[in-house]
Structure 1
Amino acid sequence: MQSAEKKTMTSLGKEERFRDVFAQLTVGESLKPGDRAYILAAAMLFIRRYQQDRRYTSYADLAYYIILKYSLQYADYAPLYDFAVNFGFYPIAKAILTNGLYDSNLIITCLGDIKLDRFRNESDDILTLEQFIASSSFLNENAQESCYLAPTSFGKSSLIVDQIKRLGTIPSRIVILVPTKSLLIQTFQMIRKANLQRKLIIHDEMYDGEDSFIAVFTQERALRLLAKHNTCFDIVFVDEAHNLLKGNSRSILLSRVIAKNRVLNPSSRVIYLSPLLNDANSLRLAPDQNISSHVIRFNVKEPEIYELRLNKEVHQYNRFLGSTYKLREGVEIKDYVLANSGEKNFLYNYRPVKVERLAGELCEMVPQIEPTDKVSELARILTNEVHPDFYAIEHLKHGVVYLHGKLPDLVKEYLEFKYKDLPELKYVVANSVILEGMNFPIDTLFIFNTYSLRGKELMNLIGRVNRLNTIFGQKGNRLERLLPKVHFVNNEEHNSAKSKMENKIALLRSRVFDDEIKNPMLEAFDIEALSMPVESKEKYLEKVTMVQENERFLTDTPQTMDDEIKAYLIQSGIIEFYSDPDEVVRRIIAESPTLASCPPEWWTAAPMMEKIEYLFLREIDSISDAEIKRLSHAETRNYYESHILIAQKKALNENINSQIQYFKQKVNSNNSKMYFGKSYGEEPYETASYLSPSNNTYVDLAIKNDRQLVNLAVVKLKMEDDFVSFKINKFIVMLFDYHLISTDEYNLYIYGTNDEKKIRLTKYGLSVGMVSRLEEDGQLNNLEFDEFNNLRATPALDEFLQTVNDFYRFEIRRFIG
């Protein structure tokens, strides 16, 4: 909302009749016939004002909101139909005709229906006029760089498939860059379902010299492919492209992928997709880039915002006038949630541990559901495959599931699948794992914590409610879902003392937010434009300078061994573990030649963690990563040695039981403090290495009961898997690349086996544990590769899958077509 629009809207709120009638319409009070005509006439004036100057989109938004509210409240769909037809909101017009909501002349109706069918896409969905024009121009242009900006749920992902289809059989090396593992799996399954007649790759080591493939990668995997193979990408899709603007290490890596591929293949195409970006030029890495932009400005959904305050008052917020309307008082949180629950409800919280706590509290609020065979089966599966004391099992009795990034990937994805599939599961409690492109059937949102949610993040979160396919892709009249219900629930337990969410709510007055560019590799980066305290800005400037120097360093050809090793440390991300990378460079230079050419017996015989400690940690004072620094302790190294070599071959429930036993051993040995990081840590822990620690990163296992230990074990396994994957493995790969360990050692620690067939399967996404289980079940020979070298099941494996439980079947079907 531009300042001129905001000023006009505010002045409208001072016009007594409009203010009062609009307030009645907003809160759902009955309007007198004269007031109905008045408010519709006001909507017409706002449309004319927009037509006079189309920069002022808020007038059109306001007119649409008035007409939508009126039509839904009085079941008079003629105004909404007329607006939808004339404004190009064709899915709404089609829904009105299909459901017989508009009693017009039969001939006019048939002609209108025929006209609307012209605006279908390749998936047979009817698009808005703006969406149809933007997607058509996007698909038909040949610009080297394109950007498609549209609200959440406006079909950006399907455009990736449509773009690839247009290539036909032309050999192309295609990569789709996604920010998270969950989105990687979802995108991979979408591409696999589309049957695009190409090899699909989800791991850099699946590449085998092909000149035509579709890779679905995180930026880390894309960089490894470019660094280790003589190849490049012809087409780069950057999904959730607004992540490029952030200032974290993963955003730097994302910009590095794009820049490096441009050097390797100057004619490559880059296609950006985002629901949150305001200006495509914010993505430029260099001033000479010309990014073609295709923008959808209008959203057919207009959220209704409610707030439960600490004083137990309920208020409704209207973003157009910036007004709040008191609805009720004396309302408890429990009663509020129950009264406002829909069919599928999302309760948002921030920290994983608070997500679990809120899920438990929710189960005390909502009654138990009628047990069904499918929910009972799910409970049995989680009991057998995870643990009988897993919190999620008891929650199922209330139709509740919880999700966060510290659950093991397979468990999280399985619960996501079951939440979508089972109508009995009415509630999902989650954090930001749901924000990045994940598709859920949510019709009501409760926000219990607003930490880190700024304007764009709030819009993205709210955009998850009532995705368009749940409105227009279903039978019956679901047009009321165009007004998604969003509830801000003030509370001191999950938000803050004196919780006051109205300040966050006020951000929603506008739908347009300036891009805040924190990535120092982007051309428009300006540290002075960032809103942060002076002292923080000075510290950030040091970080920015180092990042820019490192990226420039990578563009130069290494002149010395020192340069080569430093470049490797930057490329691999190992450099982030040290405040003075030159110190580790000197250590590697001094030790690696002998270890590679004439390794002493103690080095050859040493376990992997001992080798990592010797080369990367010993006598190095500049280790800045607290997790890595823990490997200086023998007990920690022994723990990870066992975790890597033994745990990855076991089933999930076996690993959880082993982890519980380890917890109890620590308690019995009077060494009950366990590192859990900031997401679960409850207290600081002072050691000789950490004097006066300021962060709560440890948990005292001695004060936990058995059920709490079980659920700590579940999240600890995920934490350890991430630590191994994202940190320890970087050291192992470097040792292998510099010929400091053998191929057998590398395979054993990275893949858990030296069996070439099993290694090949793990490269296709199958876990070591699943490969072992398939072997035990005699099913490895029932896996085959199709003509494009994609893994698929034989009919015999399909038959076998009908005999196993749903969890095992789900695990296999994630990667095997």
Structure 2
Amino acid sequence: MSDEVYRSEQQNLLVNFYENKKDDTISVIAPTSYGKSELILSTVKEYAGKKICVLTSTKALLIQTKKRIQQISKDIFPKIVVHPEMYNPNDSSCLAVLTQERLLRLFKKDPQLSFDCIIVDEAHEMLDNNNRSQTLANVIIVAQKRNPKVAFKFLTPFLADSTNLKARYTTYDIEGFKVSEYIKTEKYFLYDLRNYTGLKLYDQFLKKYIPISDNQNFDFEEDVVKAYSAGKNIIYLNKPTDIEKFALTLADVFPEVESELIQTACDSISEYLQPQYNLLTCLRKGIIYHHGSVPDVIRIYIECLYKNDDAIRYVITSSTLLSGINLPAERMFILDNKRGRSNLSHDSFMNLVGRVCRFSEIFNHENGNLYRLEPQIYLVFGKYFAQNANGEKFLHKVAKVEQNYKDAVDNVLLSEAKITSDNEEKLRQASEFIENYENGVVEDYQERYISTAAGKACIMNGITEFDVFAHEATIQQRVDAYQSESLKISNSNTLLETINELFIQHLPDNGAENLKRLEKKEARNFYSMMFEWRVKNKSYAEMINLFVGYWQQLYKKDRNATIYVGKWGDVKYPGSNVARYTKIDGKNRTQLVNLAIVRIKEEQDFIDNTLIKYVEVLHDLSLIEDGFYAQIKYGTDDERTICLIKNGLSLSSATLLIKKYRELFQIDVPASTVVYSKNLVTEMRKAEENQIQIYEVQSCM
């Protein structure tokens, strides 16, 4: 027991191990809810007066982590850096909570910056074969190059071997602690809707199924969920389209709930977005859904609502839940065996089921229950499982206890990744990028070096969609021509045409589908329109109306008009094997509004995560007017509003505070800090501001 907290034997050993390795690089492999968050807090305290960074895998987790740290860091660090522009090179100490992409931009901003400690949360994600995993390895490589004594703290709910977290071109060794004790033991149930075999209990220790006769026969997933649900339930599906479809189907079997909180939330979301949003239909029935295409501010708001209102019993979610997002629940229903294009792995499955019955809920003084040490997990084998899936074999594979699992190390920038003829070229490209980003990283480097300012700007801004080395001379020639004319970009049309002329034509034929679309004039016009909306500070509700109006105009011109909608598509474009388009014909306003909501979110993500990199290159090369650049990046050129945005607020909330509540906070623009009055939220409530914006402001205080 410590500080009135009772620990298990291995929790106690973990804390002692962690405290004895304060200056060392270590890994902690422990199940969800085992206390990794407390380790982060203790490390922040330990590195007071130094420079420490907590790396999170998503923006949602960044906000959650920042809020948790904020409570103990106020007297230790003057601010928490959550955006590269918040960092002041003159600060002697620094506490940063960033995604890997933001840290890479921060390293670019200050070539002298080095950290004393970097905590990598959800560290297992570094093993994957994707751009984000490679970026995570990149920042670890750069961090150690700049400070060979930096201490990395790798935290993960699962990993077979800690040495698999070792990045190439680094010298750190990892000492690991792995929890092996069982405190929670899941009870797995399989309900087979395909073969009509009813409910079975799966014993993961005996590796066998036990039929359960409860005289209940169901034909649909929603009936199974309704029959076996508890007070708070998580329902897993893979595709956002399936999530929204099932949420509405489940809503049909429940009556509306009575809750003032829900009514207020519905009013606020209706005002912020549109009253036709499908989430509102579900929310009134005590159901929310949660996936990557739900607007960030809405997702964070409804997560809080789910935690605080017992009337909301169901959250239907995708693998976004796997990235450390914590929601209270005592029962889980898994309706899909996929994560992305692959099957749920054993590790992902165990991470998923670990999200229910967290220790903080089990051992809660007010409503804790030791029965929750045996959380009930229901696999519903029905229409959402892959056509060729076998429910029994799948559960046996992912839930079986005694297996000698090995990590799949697919990131070529990790030392233990096997380099074959298939990925040798990928390693060469990754090595070229990191050596040109941070010279001296790769020992005995024999590959290409960048030779132009344009090429260097591309590398420093993370341009990897085309071969920068092969095309930098051509790009530089065009840049020189622009600079000789002393003309700077000051409007969206010119911006998109310049990006197309300088970069898009160099994209390979078989990659970067989103960017390749910019070869078409229609696509450039569309993103020019999106940028103009940003410059004009359009609200989300206004953008939805503009989107729907834009589509309706297309329909008036051509009754067979199709629009690009990405994962929401049901029409294949000629020459493509994937349905990325849909027809406007036959869709009513509610369908168009809901399509607009997810597409705005996805298009904003594309702009903020991909297209903005090319804007940054143009700015670094002095081809964009500073005021226009600020408007494109932030939606405003007002320094005070930009400071609020850097500190975590959306543009709409930042604008609201500047306009109506200026006397209730202090802004230090050079230091990128904001100090809020304790009365701010009270005054916003008195003025009956939108609850979503009130909650957003409260989260940043």
Settle same-fold status: TM greater than 0.5.
Answer: yes
Q: Distance in 1 between matches of 2:26 and 2:481?
A: 51
Q: Which residue of 2 aligns with 1:152?
A: 32
Q: Which residue of 2 aligns with 1:664?
A: 552
Q: Which residue of 2 aligns with 1:489?
A: 380
Q: In the alignment, residue 322 of structure 1 is paired with which amino acid?
A: K
Q: Which residue of 2 aligns with 1:673?
A: 562
Report if the CA contact (8 A) 1:623-1:629 is conserved: no
Structure 1: 5+ residue runs without aligned partners? 1-118, 529-537, 687-691
Are 1:341 and 2:229 an aligned pair? yes
Q: Which residue of 2 aligns with 1:249?
A: 131
Q: In the alignment, residue 599 of structure 1 is paired with which amino acid?
A: S
1:632-659, CA deviations, whole angstroms, 9 ceiling, x for partnerless residues? 2223222222212324612222222222
Q: CA deviation at 1:775?
A: 3.3
Alignment match of 2:100 (pick from 198, 206, 219):
219
Alignment of 1:552-567 (within 5 A): 552-554=435-437, 556=439, 562=451, 565-567=454-456
Are 1:799 and 2:682 an aligned pair? yes
Higher helix share: 1
Q: Distance in 2 between matches of 1:717 and 1:601?
A: 28
1:490-545, CA deviations, whole angstroms, 9 ceiling, x for partnerless residues? 112x22225422222112112763211111111111156xxxxxxxxx65454344
Q: Distance in 1 between matches of 2:579 and 2:129?
A: 24
Alignment of 1:546-695 (within 5 A): 546-554=429-437, 556=439, 562=451, 565-576=454-465, 578=466, 580-600=467-487, 607-618=494-505, 624-647=511-534, 649-670=537-558, 672-677=561-566, 679-686=567-574, 692-695=575-578
Change (3 A) 1:376 1:545: same
Q: Distance in 2 between matches of 1:252 and 1:152?
A: 24
1:392-430, CA deviations, whole angstroms, 9 ceiling, x for partnerless residues? 111123211111001111111111111111100011111
1:268-316, CA deviations, whole angstroms, 9 ceiling, x for partnerless residues? 1111111011221111125853212122111311000000112222111
Are 1:368 and 2:260 an aligned pair? no
Q: Distance in 1 between matches of 2:678 and 2:172?
A: 50
Report if the CA contact (8 A) 1:459-1:511 is conserved: no
Q: Which residue of 2 aligns with 1:190?
A: 68
Secondary structure of 1:276 counterpart: coil
Q: Distance in 1 between matches of 2:611 and 2:672?
A: 31
Q: In the alignment, residue 410 of structure 2 is paired with which amino acid?
A: K
1:745-780, CA deviations, whole angstroms, 9 ceiling, x for partnerless residues? 21121122222222222221222222222234x213
Report if the CA contact (8 A) 1:349-1:448 is conserved: yes
Alignment match of 1:501 (pick from 366, 370, 391):
391
Are 1:260 and 2:142 an aligned pair? yes
Secondary structure of 2:201 counterpart: strand
Matched length? 674
Q: Which residue of 1 aligns with 2:443?
A: none
Q: Which residue of 1 aligns with 2:444?
A: none
Alignment of 1:128-207 (within 5 A): 128-167=8-47, 170-196=48-74, 197-198=76-77, 199-207=79-87
Q: Which residue of 2 aligns with 1:407?
A: 294
Are 1:314 and 2:314 an aligned pair? no
* Paired-residue identity, %: 27
Q: Distance in 2 between matches of 1:511 and 1:288?
A: 34
Alignment match of 2:306 (pick from 414, 419, 431):
419
Q: CA deviation at 1:814?
A: 2.4
Report if the CA contact (8 A) 2:289-2:317 is conserved: yes
Q: Distance in 1 between matches of 2:527 and 2:176?
A: 48
Change (3 A) 1:293 1:786: farther
Change (3 A) 1:601 1:385: closer
Q: Which residue of 1 aligns with 2:605?
A: 722
Report if the CA contact (8 A) 1:771-1:780 is conserved: no
1:20-67, CA deviations, whole angstroms, 9 ceiling, x for partnerless residues? xxxxxxxxxxxxxxxxxxxxxxxxxxxxxxxxxxxxxxxxxxxxxxxx
Alignment of 1:524-539 (within 5 A): 524-527=416-419, 539=422
Q: Distance in 1 between matches of 2:488 and 2:189?
A: 69
Q: Distance in 1 between matches of 2:368 and 2:628?
A: 61
Alignment of 1:31-50 (within 5 A): none
Q: Distance in 1 between matches of 2:171 and 2:71?
A: 38
Report if the CA contact (8 A) 2:643-2:672 is conserved: no
Report if the CA contact (8 A) 2:233-2:330 is conserved: yes
Are 1:428 and 2:315 an aligned pair? yes
Q: CA deviation at 1:631?
A: 1.6
Report if the CA contact (8 A) 1:151-1:299 is conserved: no
Q: In the alignment, residue 380 of structure 2 is paired with which amino acid?
A: V
Secondary structure of 1:522 counterpart: coil
Q: In the alignment, residue 418 of structure 1 is paired with which amino acid?
A: L
Q: Distance in 2 between matches of 1:275 and 1:620?
A: 38
Secondary structure of 1:489 counterpart: strand
Report if the CA contact (8 A) 2:454-2:479 is conserved: no
Q: Which residue of 2 aligns with 1:36?
A: none
Q: Distance in 1 between matches of 2:99 and 2:507?
A: 31
Q: Distance in 1 between matches of 2:402 and 2:685?
A: 48
Change (3 A) 1:194 1:604: closer
Structure 2: 5+ residue runs without aligned partners? 441-446
Q: CA deviation at 1:587?
A: 2.5
Q: In the alignment, residue 485 of structure 1 is paired with which amino acid?
A: Q
Secondary structure of 2:252 counterpart: helix
Secondary structure of 2:49 counterpart: coil
Q: TM-score, normalised by structure 2?
A: 0.91
Q: Which residue of 1 aligns with 2:655?
A: 772
Change (3 A) 1:619 1:421: closer
Report if the CA contact (8 A) 2:643-2:673 is conserved: no
Q: Distance in 1 between matches of 2:26 and 2:658?
A: 46
Q: Distance in 1 between matches of 2:534 and 2:622?
A: 26
Q: Which residue of 2 aligns with 1:125?
A: 5
Q: CA deviation at 1:744?
A: 1.8
Q: Which residue of 2 aligns with 1:20?
A: none
Alignment match of 2:621 (pick from 719, 738, 761):
738
Q: Distance in 2 between matches of 1:619 and 1:296?
A: 49
Q: CA deviation at 1:205?
A: 0.6
Change (3 A) 1:645 1:783: farther
Q: Distance in 2 between matches of 1:160 and 1:634?
A: 49
Greater relative CO, 1 or 2 (CA 8 Å, sep 6+):
2
Alignment match of 1:760 (pick from 643, 668, 684):
643
Q: Distance in 1 between matches of 2:228 and 2:482?
A: 66
